[in-house]
A = this chain, B = another copy of it.
Amino acid sequence: MHLTHLECPRCGTTQDADRLQNLCPCGSPLLARYDLAAVGRAVDPPRLAGRAPDLWRYQELLPVADPAHRTSLGEGFTPLFPAPRFGARIGVPRLLVKDEGLLPTGSFKARGAAVGVSRAAELGARSVAMPTNGNAGAAWATYAARAGLRATIAMPAAAPAITRQEVRAAGAELYLVDGLIGDAGRLLAERTAGTGTFDVSTLKEPYRLEGKKTMGYEVAEQLGWRVPDVIVYPTGGGVGLIGIHKALGELRTLGWIEARQPRLVAVQATGCAPVVRAFQAGARRAEPWPDPTGSVAFGITVPAPLGDELILAALSATGGTAVAVSDPDLLADRQEFARSEGLLLCPEGAACLTAARRLRETGWIDGDEQVVVINTGAGLKYPE
């Protein structure tokens, strides 16, 4: 393993990577750091090419020392397929969709859970707890069961129903709250205080991010170790966006991709868009959204993302932007996409289509640019 330490992106201090860690004492999430020179000596793109098509192909860039601790259901290397017909309709003929619905538990959350659970188990955790908008809870409950860990999950009662069934089926303890994800977090803090349960809330431990970042590796590898012009990402907690940015930085350091950075776009719902508001104000931090209203894109309804600073830094560093979209618009694009390309995206993925359409209309995206939309989950999880 080439993991060397944890680093605080806010205060710059380092922390021990070999024991269970949550936030930096300064309150910031911690980032995993690797000996990239050693990684570069151990592996290169041609040697990667023959490996199994899951996220563990990037093992030198992942934080699990002993392969016996890998908790895997075959997750990763999801398709990146062209959507030329829908793309042409919105003036982005080189549109690509990365279909994260094709992961165990039907969402991109499986990446973070697979790596996060593996590392937590490796470092001795026996039980984990987290609040969730549904999909993360389903994924963590599933992987925790697979690893033999106990899991405690709290989610809004309005979260997708199937995620409740997944959590219960995996034998996890489930709490439903009449509120949003922040309320779920508060309930869980009360219930698990003093129990020794490891808190795996979004960005409160450093390894979920390491799983999510593999989306960035895959996009680059699937494009022949090139990067697209734009990556459009539905942003709730923002771990995937932060992860993709971190991954592409690591690949640049390794010299596996060019210096050019794709512009990252954070997509939120109009009723809860703290990152969009902060980005437009040029702020480094986001204020909690005071009066969130629901969206069919339930997964991105996060009023106070802990990673706000890292999200905004990634947008700024890449010349990206942030866009809020409405439910009627994203549902119309979801329908138009299904009719032209067949596949039913999740609402959060559809929100990215609307954002791409809007950014093309304003000229922020050019008609010959290559644009990757991340469909973070299977449309199947949203039957209503």
Indicate whether A102 sits within 8 Å of B103 (C-beta atoms), given known contacts A74-B79, A74-B80, A381-B380.
Answer: yes
Tell me the smallest distance from the CB of A176 to a CB of chain B, in Å: 16
Which of A163-171, A307-315, A361-369 lies on the face that meets chain B? A163-171
Number of copies: 2
Which chain A residues in 68-105 approach chain B with CB under 8 Å?
Answer: 72-75, 77-81, 85, 99, 101-105
**Is A162 within 8 A of B342, CB to CB?**
no
**What total of chain A residues lie within 8 Å of the partner, measured CB to CB?**
49
Cross-chain contact B102 with A79 (CB below 8 angstroms): no
State A169–B331 Cα separation when bound (angstroms): 11
- A372 CB–B CB distance under 8 Å: no
* A383 contacts partner chain B, Cβ-Cβ < 8 Å: yes
Please give the distance in Å from A80's CB to the nearest CB on chain B.
7
- Point out the residues of chain B lying under 8 angstroms from A78, CB to CB: 74
Instruction: Find out whether the CB atom of B79 lies under 8 angstroms from the CB atom of A343.
Output: no
Report Cα–Cα, A339/B80, bound state, in Å.
32
Question: Is B162 touching A383 in the complex (CB atoms < 8 A)?
Answer: yes
A51-73 Cβ-contact flags toward B at 8 Å (1 or 0): 00110000000000000000011
Which A residues are closer than 8 A to B by beta carbons? 49-50, 53-54, 72-75, 77-81, 85, 99, 101-106, 141-146, 148, 161-162, 165-166, 169-171, 334-335, 338-344, 378-381, 383
